[in-house]
Structures are given as C-alpha cells and as structure tokens.
Structure 1
C-alpha cells in the first residue's frame, strides 16, 4: 500500500486547485465581454486564434524558464512522447470544434445546448476507463444537476435562434450526430490530457505548448481553401486589428494555460464544473458593466450549480474496506 500523502501537501494541492479554478472561472466568464468590447467584426477569426496559440506558447515557455523546468524538459523531450501526450488530444479537439460548427448550423439552440452538455458525462466515463476514477452515487447525481444548470444557462443565452427548417435526415446526420460525436471526443480528449499529466507526469505547460503547435498546424491546414484563408491572403494577417485587440487574445491565452493547470491538478470532470460556473460569472459581469439583469434561466441555474458543486465535493467515491 502506498504511504499516505503528507497533510500539508494535500492542503497545498487543494489551495492550488481552488486558486486556479477561481481564476479560470473569472477569465472564462469575462472573455465574451472582453472579446465583444475589443475585437472588431473586421478581424479575421483565424488570425486571432493563431495569435492566441502563439501567446500560449510564449507564456508557457516563460513560466517554465522562470521555474527552472525548461532545461530539464528540453533534455527529456521526445517526439513520440509529445505525440502521445499532446498530439492526439490536440487533433481530437480540432475535429471536435469542426463538428460543433456543423451541428450548430443545423440545430436549434435548445437542442444543441442540451446535447452539447453530455460531454460532462463522457468526461466522467473516459476518466473511469483511462484512470479508473470512479464516481459515487451522489457525484453522479451532482453531474445530472450540473448538466441541467448548463442547459438552462445555454438556453438563456441563445434560445432566440430558431430551427433552420432542415429536413429530418439533415437534422439527424448534420445536427444531432455531429454534436454527440463531438461530446464523446471532448470527454476523450479531456481524459487523455488528465492521463498524460497525472499518470505520465507530463508538464501541463509543456502540454499547452505541444497542443498549441499541433492545433495551429491543424487550423492552418483547414484554412488552405477556406474563406478565412482567402481573406488573410488578400487583406493580410492582421487586417482589422488595433493594439486593443491584443487584450482578449492575451486573456484567452492565459485562460488556455489555466485550463491545463485545472485539468492537471483537479481533473477533467471538475474542470466541467468550473466552466459551467463561469457562465454565472458572465451573467454577473453583464449586469455590472452593461446593466443587463440575469435571466430567469440564470436565476434558476444558480442553486443547481451551487448544489452540484457542494454535493460533488462532499461525497467523493470511497473504496469499501474489505472485512478481515
């Protein structure tokens, strides 16, 4: 039997989890308002995404250089290890994003929001398959509460978009199937990241660098014949940019670093709780800075989020002791 962790180490880890989770919730919650305020409609989406990935790499390299881990990681780094730990999740996330874009165009917002929240369950499923991380009955109930809250918040944000009037086959094969496959892929990728950081002890900062590079290559390949790629060739990479455009780009990059840290320390399922909580932060900030009161959906979701987090933390899975 492995020796128990020192009490101080456990408390230190819990403090890190709480700190990174709070930062991520506020960053994720504030990002829509920051982006709306500082990114012009003329900015080419691909240029902002690629710049964000470059910023992630720079931040991660700076942190690793400062904490002294860069030299050690450089000596131990291998291409096979990088592709195993980061390449596969990055490619999966790229495919997931493409499927979500297809689905969103062929489903009404209510259906899309409900189906998209199933990724929380798939994350829990794959963490069990890959890491044997079991959930207690209470935690499974908490996941149901969280999904209900996420659906309410998502519907409250965009229920005005109606169904595109597609036929049944198109809705099934280009709407429902893609979003369900994307949810499976999201759960798998998140669990693979957790496996790499917790089992293979792969640095979360190194994973951020590797996934940013692989994701950028996938994005560049997809833009070869896309409208964004054509726009960059005709107008230039930084068309529509101002110095203030860097504000949301840098904020988003820091959020990417935080996602890696939360996944590494707390796991993919708890990251799901943080992301849903961030939707409440968005509603709060909209009320403070834009005078937009929270919707009834948001008010109904608040107690569900609080209850789900409380139950999930209070009733972890415990291994039953065998009677001698």
Structure 2
C-alpha cells in the first residue's frame, strides 16, 4: 500500500515538473523568436545599405565580381567546417562523404550547375542594381522576388495559393509600380543623374535578379525534394560551381583591369564587412529562421524596408514623399498578408508538433527567404 501511495505521488509531481519545463521552454522559444526577428531585420537591411554605402563612397572602387567570388569561397569554407563538426572531426568519414556526394553522385552535382549559374548572375546583378538605385527603392522593388517565386512555385511545383495570397501578390505588384513611377518622375532620378548613376540600368538589374531568384529558388527546392543530401552539402556543390562561374565572369568583365590593379584593388575594411555579411549573413539567418514562424518572418521583411528607408534618409539624403510612402506601404502590407497561414488549414496540420506543419511552413517561407538562406 505504501509503495502504491508512493507511486501515486510521483504522477502529480511529474506532471508539475513537466508543466514547469514546458513553461520554461515556451519562454525560451518566445525570447528566441524576438532574437530571430532582430537578426532577420538587421541582416536584411544592413546588407543592402552597406553595399549601397561602399559603392557610393569616393575613391577607388573595388571590383564586384571579385567580391562575389570571395563570398562564395567563404560560404563553401563555412559549410565544410559545419560538416566536419557534424562528423565529430573524423577526417576519413568527412573526405569520403565529400567524394561520394560530389564525384560518385556526379549527376546530382551537375544538376546544380543551372541554379549556381543563375545565383552567380544574380549576385553580380545585385551589385549593379544597388549601385544605381537608392537603397530604399531597391529594397521595395526587390520584394518582387515574392511574386516571381510564387508564380514559379505554381507553375513548376503545382503549389496552390490562397485567395489572400493572390490578393497580396496583386497589391505587391501595385505597390512596386507606384514606387517606380514616383522614382522615375521625381527628384531621385535627378539626384542619381547628378552622381553618374543609371536608374534604368539599376531597375532592369533588380527585375532580372527577381526573376532569377524566383526560378532558381523553386528549381533548387525541386532538386532538394528528390535528394537525401543535407543543405550544407548542397551549398558546397553549389559553391564549387559558383566559384568557377564567378571566376569566369570576373575574367570576362574585369579581367584586364584586375590583371593591372590586382584582385583586392579598392578593398577596405568596409568592403570586407560587406563580403562577410553576404557570406555569413544568409547562413546565420538559416540557423535562426527555425525559431521564427512565417508571420514573424514576413514582419521582419516588412520592418527591414522601413529601417532601410529611414536610414537612407540620413545616410544618402533619400527623399520620401507621399506617393513613395503609399507604394512602400502597399508592399509592406502585401508581404505581411502573404505570410499569413492559409485559412482552410485543418487543426491537425497546424499543430506546432506536426511534421506536416513544419514542412508546409518551410515551403511558405521559401518565398521570403533570401537566396543565401535557401542555398548559400
């Protein structure tokens, strides 16, 4: 009887401990969500602002093509370190895994040549776009990648979008169009002309970048679904092609100038900061995004546009008028609307512990994740 009584006392105590542990875990997750939000906002805004800043400083200009190659090298190196840590420092297993994934399964490796080519082009186009557009304008216009990713997802992966998401895409397009009309006819174009920047060149670059981002992201997702390789290994495979294609683009575009002035010509601590941000920022976001739900991710993207706009006013003398505010407001609202969960989702599929929920949420996040999060 005493043993039964003792056993009966264990159950309430265990229940209390479980509740306390669950409460503490919820508090930790809540803090991690806010930390994730801060990191996402800082990474989204700082990369664009820092590239814009170093590309508009007086003095020697670094070669963007060399910066793209260096960022790829750093990403591959980081992924190699992560994998060898996962293998507990076992060099033999590490080397065999690389050999098996890259050479023995060469057909899978070759499939990544297409998205790698597109991402290398996209990385270079981003430098061109940010060099010729105000940071806030680029940030707003670049959200068109959500539209292109959604359309390619419907066409290539047969995904379905809710009515709210379709409405948000229309609002997104309208908001970007309003911003572009305002910039094309406003004072910003005059300011850019005065600094030898080409607004049309920047606009074409960001549009092509959005198209390439949407296609390559969906194409990569399709490859991942039929593969057991880790994301880190896929990053290495992509990085190998990225480095080779980046070197080819560097030779084609800046070969003679780099041969004369050197690979690191024009590099300053600020330029190195941009490269490290580009290389590690996306990987960092890939780690923290697991703690941020889709709504929080959409909020972070929207908030980063506001941060970029306010900072641009002080750093670059960016002029914000009513029309730009309306257009940017539509974009921000559209981003948030698109991130909302589908209303017809069943209770079982929306449970946080449900595997199907996790996969669905990750799929919806794809439209917002920068390329660096998805594959870099």
Q: Shorter-chain-normalised TM-score: which range? A: 0.5 to 0.7
The structure whose RCO (Cα within 8 Å, separation 6+) is larger is: 1
Q: Pick from 126, 139, 150: which aligns with 2:165?
A: 139
Question: Secondary structure at 1:196's aligned position in 2?
Answer: helix
How far apart, CA to CA, are the structure 1 residues paired with 2:270 and 2:204? 39
Q: Pick from 334, 339, 342: which aligns with 1:308?
A: 334
Q: Is 1:223–2:250 an aligned residue pair? A: yes
How far apart, CA to CA, are the structure 1 residues paired with 2:222 and 2:288? 13
Contact 2:149–2:215 under 8 Å retained in 1: yes
1:1-324 matches, cutoff 5 A: 23-35=39-51, 36=53, 41-68=60-87, 71=94, 73-74=97-98, 76-77=100-101, 78-84=105-111, 86-95=112-121, 118-151=144-177, 160-161=188-189, 183-226=210-253, 228-258=254-284, 278-286=304-312, 290=315, 295-296=320-321, 299-301=325-327, 303-316=329-342, 318=344
> 1:279-302: CA deviations, max 9, x gaps?
323123345x64957723653355
> 1:247-293: CA deviations, max 9, x gaps?
11101112343576699999x9x989865653323123345x64957
Contact 1:123–1:186 under 8 Å retained in 2: yes
Contact 1:24–1:255 under 8 Å retained in 2: no
Normalised by the size of structure 1, how large is the TM-score? 0.67
Where structure 1 has 5 or more consecutive residues not aligned to the other structure, the ranges are 1-7, 106-111, 165-170
Where structure 2 has 5 or more consecutive residues not aligned to the other structure, the ranges are 1-21, 132-137, 194-199, 347-376
Q: How many aligned positions are there? A: 298
> 1:61-105: CA deviations, max 9, x gaps?
223333449838536513221222x32211123455678899999
Contact 1:92–1:189 under 8 Å retained in 2: yes
Q: Report the CA distance between 1:51 and its aligned residue.
A: 1.4
Q: Report the CA distance between 1:55 and its aligned residue.
A: 1.5
Relative to structure 1, the CA distance from residue 304 to residue 13 in structure 2 (aligned partners, 3 Å threshold; closer, same or farther) is: farther
Contact 2:118–2:212 under 8 Å retained in 1: yes
Of the structure 1 ranges 47-56 and 274-283, higher mean CA displacement relative to structure 2 is found in 274-283
Between structure 1 and structure 2, the one with the greater Rg is: 2
Question: Secondary structure at 2:189's aligned position in 1?
Answer: coil
Question: Secondary structure at 1:316's aligned position in 2?
Answer: coil
Normalised by the size of structure 2, how large is the TM-score? 0.59
What root-mean-square deviation, in Å, do the aligned CA atoms of Structure 1 and Structure 2 show?
A: 5.1
State the partner residue of 1:108.
none
Contact 1:136–1:316 under 8 Å retained in 2: yes
How far apart, CA to CA, are the structure 2 residues paired with 1:224 and 1:66? 35
